[in-house]
Structure 1
Amino acid sequence: MPEVTPIPLAQLTTLRTGGAPARMIDAATADELVHALRSVWSEAEPWLVLGGGSNLFIGDEPFDGTVVRVRTQGIERMPSPRPGFARLRVQAGHEWDALVAHAVGEGLAGIEAMSGIPGTVGAAPVQNIGAYGQELVQTLVEVELIDESTGDVSVVPAAELGLGFRTSALKHHYGSEPARRAVILSVTLELAEVGHSERPIAGEQLRSALGLQRGEAVSVAWIRDHVIATRRGKGMVLDDEDPDTYSAGSFFQNAIVSASFARTLPAECPRWPVTPDLDPVLVIPLAAFDGYVPLRPSVESDVKVSAAWLIEHSGVRKGFKLPRSRAALSSKHALALTNRGSATAGELAELARFIQGRVQSEFGLILQPEPILVNVEL
């Protein structure tokens, strides 16, 4: 088990906050990762698994526990039971964008709109990452994971992970514990074999983001290139020359609200319907069945509303910062809180609370943080 000299977490996270841990372990293989986690859990000490550090907001105090860095690599292509598809099994420490580049190079479709997202593959299901209408849940088959409670390794189908909008049963939500405490060892995706030819894009959100007309045909490589360019224009591609990228990406989630609440928001606020379950299972006990099947009640779908629009229209503009603070909103994207130069976690938290208060005051909605918060509170 390769124990290494602890590195301050501010050097390993994209928000550039966090003190040094008491202990640090680098796991380069799945066996090393399993051994390290079982050892840490047996000692009942605080622990943190670190991949790319792009979805973490960590407090300034030293971390009194062990950080296990997941550095496993590898992509294995496997056949799919579905004609026209292929499966990729990917180690948890593999860089997410490197996986997307590999898939696009192989002519595989399903994750190309998620190009440029920082972080590692093992973190992707925890967050159910997504962009421009694509979400991991659409292609995820299963994960191999190790449970903290037992130390057992198992393969879990995607359907058992509680995947939802930027969430899963594995995610540490702000103020609550995950439904299942486990660490992902590998991820298996099923992607369409489309090759390198041009084809029409079905998703309206992706077409809109890339300026495509309905029926206009492009290749997966074209989509990847243009998504990265779009993200770069928003400061959402890691670049040491651009301080707008010293962030955790979107700090606040787009809010999912009821249709009735959405109607209280200004009509100009961008919104997208969240597809309801149109085919719920109706069970009628045989002894009670009288030949009549009741009509299904009409269900009004929930609505996803733009957190960026709410922030800007609450009076907090791009580039905003509080007096004497080294934390600021990105100058390119109202959802990203950025570290403009040695900002403390306290300064970033203060800015986040201010934004939450402004949006709540103007629109009656409390925005929820998207990153995982460690030793810091809003």
Structure 2
Amino acid sequence: MQQVKAVIAREKATPVEIVTINVPDPGVGEVVVRVLSCGVCHTDVHYREGGINDQFPFLLGHEAAGVVELIGDDVTNVRIGDFVVLNWRAVCGYCRACRRGEAQYCFATHNAKQRMTIAEGPDAGTELTPALGIGAFAEKTLVAAGQCTRVDSTARPAAVGLLGCGVMAGIGAAINTGGATRGRSVAVIGCGGVGAAAIAGAALAGASPIIAVDIDARKLEKARLVGATHVVNSSHADPTLEIRRICGETFEDAEGADIVIDAVGRPETWKQAFYSRDLAGTAVLVGVPTPEMKVPDLPLLDVFGRGGALKASWYGDCLPSRDFPLLVDLYQQGRLDLDAFVTEEIELGDVESAFVRMHDGDVLRSVVVF
């Protein structure tokens, strides 16, 4: 067992704090990773606010890259010293999705069985719930071996670690779920970290036009930097009408974009995505809704009459072992600008203030660097 510094959310809606935690030696199928970097994601705020579940205290952080330090028995996919990006969906290999060759939809994903614990004070020994089964706002963390994907060891950790959640979710929503490719138009509603990544994914696939929609001019400017060909400030214009107008410049009879991605996850933005599609177009929900949100009232005849597909994107429908090395290679070749998503590098004690900057729209990602 080792003791390291980490950031936890002890109680609902209270500031996070740095504590010393116990990291057990890895058991069967488990790995201890020395964390090099970890992005600050909206999901960590959801955990702190009790929006995921009430299993406090939480060990926060999940968009991480690091080096394998210890391995348990029966670990074959990584070795000590490997540079890895962590993921929160270690696939089982046995469920019906895995058996039919669709491991990206694995229905029995898993994490480490052992729990890390608080090391000192009156709560010593209290088990921690790691965010998304990772808990990487920590100098070291314990994960299932399948949560580790080996990538090019010369890549910048702060950049490639973001593939562990938000950037992969966005790129995958465009390419894997939406099917973006040359000759298709893409609109993205909401241009935070995930939405900007969806734009980058659409650009990587050769889609055009690529339309960014947001109410924040700063985010729209960042969207241009990662590949948007057009921007729409929806606080000043009707996004559905603007998407139809822009797509009509390419195809005169277009009634919207071929693929519309809702990276916000609210009923009103989902409805915008639905009506901003072309006939037979695809709407993709990748923004995470809260439990009380309901599907907006849509006439069933419109659902039938517009055709196409309404999809939810799970983690960008990615398979980490397939997608992470490919995207890191594209980054290393200069074809995917992951550095553009790293607004600032911070220390472990800056996580709470990073939450504020993220809420205010000042950053795409703050990244804790150890």
Q: TM-score scaled to structure 2, two decimals?
A: 0.28
Query: Rg bigger for which structure?
Result: 1
Query: Could you say which structure has the higher helix fraction?
Result: 2
